[in-house]
Amino acid sequence: MDVARAASAHVRSIQVRRLGRVDYGEAHAKEAGHQRYGKTYASDAALHPGWSEASPVHLLGHSMGAGVALAYALRYQDELRGLVLSGPAVLFEGVSPLQARAVRILSALAPGLPVFAIDGTAVSRDPEVVRAYDRDPLNYRGKIPVRTAAEMARSAEQLPDRLGSLRLPLLLLHGTEDRLVPANASRLVHDRASSLDKTLRLYDGLYHEVFNEPERDQVLADLTHWLDWHA
């Protein structure tokens, strides 16, 4: 689902502006394995033409994109009016200190080394969505490079101490049965952010792609209501 387009169809005051189509195919994955997660893409976002002309600007990100959106918001929040994060990949539970150290070492020695793959069945409870996800040529279906994993972990380690500076109106959306990013990630952002206007929506039983679950209409309604209220 094109979430931004769907939301704009419900809220007349919304104009959709994007960073551009990002190709997550094999070539992109290999290139990304050698980049600094968050810092690189947040800097690219800051250069996006036309953002300064749009008012108000609400930034929406999902999963890894939500991590990038959060990094951008922490750095440039004076340019934004609000922030929406869906399943933000900013917390990794069950990783031991030894595993974290091994990832950092391997990242320095062999940044492109593949370490783990995403299980397509964890994306949604809708079989059609899973099939579309697995067949999409823009989705990299190989194992994620160790550099990407290390940079995501590094960003997550630094995040708690930075969240106190977040003052933007904030909406967090997360499925309670998300097997890719724990719902505690959204709880962490919500609890640590200094925003006076912050909302956490936890959807019982939903997986990672809350906008592509059978209950997507309810999730989209919550999003558009929040955007309408803050537009």
Q: Which residues are catalytic?
A: 63, 178, 208
Q: Which fold has domain 3-230?
A: Rossmann fold (3.40.50)
Kindly list the domain boundaries of the chain, sorted by start residue. Answer: 3-230
pTM: 0.82
Query: What is the 3-class SS of the chain, one letter each residue?
Result: CCHHHHHHHHCCCCCCCCCCCCCECHHHHHHHCCCCCCHHHHHHHHCCCCHHHCCCCEEEEECHHHHHHHHHHHHHHHHCCEEEEECCCCCCCCCCHHHHHHHHHHHHHCCCCEEECCCHHHCCCCHHHHHHHHHCCCECCCCEEHHHHHHHHHHHHHHHHHHHHCCCCEEEEEECCCCCCCCHHHHHHHHHCCCCCEEEEEECCCCCCHHHCCCHHHHHHHHHHHHHHHC
pLDDT in tens, 43-77: 555 545 455 565 678 999 999 899 999 999 999 99
User: Per-residue pLDDT tens for 73-128?
Assistant: 999 999 899 999 999 999 887 777 788 888 889 989 999 998 888 899 999 999 99
